[in-house]
Amino acid sequence: MKLEYKVLWFEDQFSEIEGDVNRLESFILECGFIPDFDHRGRISEEEIEELALKLDNYNPYDLIIFDYDLGEGSAKGLNIAAHLRSKIYTDMIFYSGQIPQQLRKMLFENEVDGVFIVHRGEFYNEIEPIIDDHIKKMSDLNNIRGVVMSETSAMDLALREILIEKTKTFSEERLQTTFETLKDRLIRKLEENKLKIEGLTSLKSAVSDHFVTGFDQVRVTLKETLGELGETNLKDGSLVHQVQVERNKLAHQKASLSKGGKMLLHGKKESVEYNYDEFKRLRNDLLEAHSDIKKLSS
């Protein structure tokens, strides 16, 4: 989950609904998200198919909204819905000045499921509760943990980049002074941690202190106490170890979306693509790693 609420919006006369768009932006901001509307005026049949394939690979959108009639030179909203629904299952909102029952009939006849119908005359009043419900479904503890992890990691990267960029204009003397000050600060932190470690009175107190004893120290210590089972499930390179390494990469490496719609994670040596198959692989790895950990207590 992220702080942006991203909407793909097909409308050829966006200025006519500008008031409703502004109200939606304000509502989304009130919910704690940054509204990000990707506006498309027209789209051909070929472009729809290309877009569907692109979104099947990586879909950044929380919602897709489209007008039924996009004017000459563009596919109809119904065609857009049918093509996209064949590849993705993102919530969609279909609106028009036509009677909603007529739109539902057309969607049914074209076997397009899971699309909200909104009458253009009641656009904001009907679409606001849909978005409100969607945001509420996204607002659970696991999602907010993901938001905090993602956004604080982005802040960490931004601060590091700004610091490096700002110091490019420093004189050699000031640069060295800043460097020595940072080194002194790091050494003091190490000494403080050393005192904390020396003050530990039991194995339980050491293992229970997340700030002193990290994941790797716990993993290796447990491995050493469990013999063959620990060696199998907790050794360096085990799945439990691998998912923790990947977690650190996801938390601290910079991500970007390529022009081709690929989500890339940029490491020091190479960039790695994360798409639907990679997300599926990672979820399965996490499930298997949980299973390996459960075996340790049996």
Domains of the chain: 4-139 (3.40.50.2300), 214-298 (no CATH)
Rg (CA), the chain: 26
More confident: 92 or 23? 23
Lowest mean pLDDT among 7-21, 110-124, 183-197: 110-124
Give this prediction's pTM: 0.67
Model pLDDT, residue 8:
92
Q: Are 4 and 154 in contact (CB under 8 A)?
A: no
The per-residue pLDDT for range 66-122, each reduced to its tens digit, is 887 655 555 566 777 777 777 778 888 888 776 667 777 777 777 777 788 888 888
Average pLDDT over residues 213-230: 91
- CA distance linking residue 85 with residue 211, whole number of Å: 47
Q: Choose among 51, 56, 23, 53: nearest CA to 38.
A: 51
| Per-residue b or e along 83-106, where b marks 16 or more CB atoms closer than 10 Å to that residue's CB | bbbebbebbbbbbbeeebeebeeb
Beta strands in the chain (DSSP E): 4-10, 34-40, 63-67, 92-96, 115-119, 254-257, 263-266, 271-274
